[in-house]
Structures are given as structure tokens and as C-alpha cells.
């Protein structure tokens, strides 16, 4: 299932979907062994519309920051509700500039409802496409729609050094690398929400992952403006966060 329809696809919002995501958080855990040595921040872009890989990456680089782009190769070049998605050329250029190109399945698969075999096959297809494009094997993964079940979590966890969901939270010692939390810089309240989590992460010396989708002056409900992204990065720099791609933050916390 993809989001390339007029009406965006949503994860299962029923009580069963919510219960499944909560149950998944208790299953197949891989706790982070050590506390972050200082407050850390990662900036991520899901689905990677061109506005993220162009303008978003430029804003990061103006601050000397590298980001993580969770890409579903099956969406490349397609027009989605948040804009046209990036293609091989964009990803290769970003990787060459030190950004992380991470996995978001091939087809933007709902891993909450897929079988373990389907999820594994879709992820292998994405990795094959990355390799054919000349990209390294992806190390980080984000569940499309943040949705996951215990069976797909257990099937995908061995393939990646971290797997990220969409539930809000800070990351520290004991947090599950197989279902990391993240906070959205998306929608009208996104900037204020992200800033409040930055403050919490700073005071708790925690690691925070922020995510968005498109970066444009009239963003979709899942995106943010260039100004909001720039202000948040300026604040994070002033708060002396160590800002690094998800892959590098995981390496820092797992040795």
C-alpha cells in the first residue's frame, strides 16, 4: 500500500491498531545499553519529497548538519500528497554530501498489517534498489505510518541497527532500538511541539529524533516551512545539542 492516492492512506486508527502498536513496544526489545553522553538530536525526513532533499538538506547544511532521509525507493519520482518524491540522482547526491539514506520499505508498506514475509521481502527489494543506485546498505529503518506488529518487528529488527516509529518520546538508556520514538515537526503546531521536546531533551541529556516530510512555504499537513526548520536548528545549536544522523547516534550509544 502506498500513499499515492488523492486521499492519503492512514495506518489502522482503530482500537485494534493502537493496541497492536502498544503491544509491539513490549515485544522483541533491544534496549540501548548506555545513557547518551550529552543531549543529542537527529533530524529526519520521511518519504523524502524533493522539497526535503533540496531545500531541507540545504537548510541543514547551512548549519553544518547532516540528516537522515528515510526513503521508500518505490515512491521515487512519484507525486504524493506532500509533493514529488526524490529519485536516484537526489539520493546519490545527498549520500555523497554525508547525509544518511535510510530504509522506509520499498512500497511504503504498512508493517502493522503486513505478514512477516511480505515485510521482509519489501525491505529486501528496497535494499536491492539502493545497491543498484550505488548507495550503501541502509542501516536505519522507519516504519511507514509508524505502524508495526510484533511479527514484523521481529522479522525486520535483525536487518537494521535501529527502527523508528512515530510515538513521541525521548531516547536514553534502556530505550528500544527496535521501535524508537520520534517527534513530528509537522502541521500547524509542529514547531512549538518540536521546541518543547527540544527543551525536555536538553534538560534530560537525552537523544531526540525529529521528523518531517516536505519543506515548503505552504507545507502539507505532514510538512513544515523552511523558516520553522531553520529556527528549530538555530535553537538546537544554541542549546548545544550534538546533531548527527540516526546511524551515527546509534553507533555512539552502542559502541
Minimum CB distance to Zn ion smaller for 197 or for 222: 222
DSSP, collapsed to helix, strand or coil, labels residue 6 as: coil
Least CB distance to Zn ion at residue 92 (A): 21
Between the two ends of the chain, the Cα-to-Cα distance in Å is 36
Q: Scanning the structure block, which residue is given the C-alpha cell 511504503?
A: 108
219 lies in the binding site for Zn ion (CB under 5 A): no
Of positions 32, 36, 46, 156, contacts Zn ion by CB under 5 A: 46
Cell of 168: 513521541
With left for phi above 0 and alpha for psi between -120 and 50, is residue 181 left, alpha or beta? beta
Closest CA to 69 of 89, 82, 86: 86
Nearest Cα to Cα of residue 85 among 160, 144, 146:
144
> Least distance from C-beta 124 to Zn ion, angstroms?
18
For residue 241, the tally of other CB atoms under 10 A from its CB is: 21
Strands 40-46 and 207-212 come out as parallel
Nearer to Zn ion, 110 or 176 (CB): 110
Instruction: Name which of 58, 56, 36 is nearest 242 in CA terms.
Output: 36
Q: How far is the CB of 220 from Zn ion (least distance, A)?
A: 12
144 near Zn ion (CB under 5 A): yes
When the beta carbons of 32 and 82 are compared against Zn ion, the nearer one is 82
By the rule CB under 5 A, 186 interacts with Zn ion: no
Least distance from Zn ion to the Cβ atom of residue 180, Å: 15
Instruction: Give the orientation angle of helix 116-133 with respect to helix 88-96, to 10 degrees.
Output: 70
Cell of 84: 514529488
Nearer to Zn ion, 144 or 181 (CB): 144
Number of H helices, E strands in the chain: 9, 10
Residue (143 or 241) nearer to Zn ion, CB: 143
Regarding 245 and contact with Zn ion (CB under 5 A), the answer is no
Cβ at position 248, least distance to Zn ion in Å: 22
Binding mask 161-180 for Zn ion (x = CB under 5 A): --------------------
Residue nearest to Zn ion (CB): 46
Q: Name the residue nearer to Zn ion (CB basis): 39 or 94.
A: 94
Largest Cα–Cα distance of the chain, in whole Å? 45
47 binds Zn ion (CB under 5 A): yes
Residue count at the site for Zn ion (CB under 5 A)? 3
* Set of cell numbers at residue 90: 537526489
**Minimum CB–partner distance for residue 70 and Zn ion (Å):** 7
Give the range of 132-140, 143-151, 155-163, 194-202 binding Zn ion by CB under 5 A.
Answer: 143-151
Binding residues for Zn ion, rule: CB under 5 A, are 46-47, 144
Amino acid at each position: 500500500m502506498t500513499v499515492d492516492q488523492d486521499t492519503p492512506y492512514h495506518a489502522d486508527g482503530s482500537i485494534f491498531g493502537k493496541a497492536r502498536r502498544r503491544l509491539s513496544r513490549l515485544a522483541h526489545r533491544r534496549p540501548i545499553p548506555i545513557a547518551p553522553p550529552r543531549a543529542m538530536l537527529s533530524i529526519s525526513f520521511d518519504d523524502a519529497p524533493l522539497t526535503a532533499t533540496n531545500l531541507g538538506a540545504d537548510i541543514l547544511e547551512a548549519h553544518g548538519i547532516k540528516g537522515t532521509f528515510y526513503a521508500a525507493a518505490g515512491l521515487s519520482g512519484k507525486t504524493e500528497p506532500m509533493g514529488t518524491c526524490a529519485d536516484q540522482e537526489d539520493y546519490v547526491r545527498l549520500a555523497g554530501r554525508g547525509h544518511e539514506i535510510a530504509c522506509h520499505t520499498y512500497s511504503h508498506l504498512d508493517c502493522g498489517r503486513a505478514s512477516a514475509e511480505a515485510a521482509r521481502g519489501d525491505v529486501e527489494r528496497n535494499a536491492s534498489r539502493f545497491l543498484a543506485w550505488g548507495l550503501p546498505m541502509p542501516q536505519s529503518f522507519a516504519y511507514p505510518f509508524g505502524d508495526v506488529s510484533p511479527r514484523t518487528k521481529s522479522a525486520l529488527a535483525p536487518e537494521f541497527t535501529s527502527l523508528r516509529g512515530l510515538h513521541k518520546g525521548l531516547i536514553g538508556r534502556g530505550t528500544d532500538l527496535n521501535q524508537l520514538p520520534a517527534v513530528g515537526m509537522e502541521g500547524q503546531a509542529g514547531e512549538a511541539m518540536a521546541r518543547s521536546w527540544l527543551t525536555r531533551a536538553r534538560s534530560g541529556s537525552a537523544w531526540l529524533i525529529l521528523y518531517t516530510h516536505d519543506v515548503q512555504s505552504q507545507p502539507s499537513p505532514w510538512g513544515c516551512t523552511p523558516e520553522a526548520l531553520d529556527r528549530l536548528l538555530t535553537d538546537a545549536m544554541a542549546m548545544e545539542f550534538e546533531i548527527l544522523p540516526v546511524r551515527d547516534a546509534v553507533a555512539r550509544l552502542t559502541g
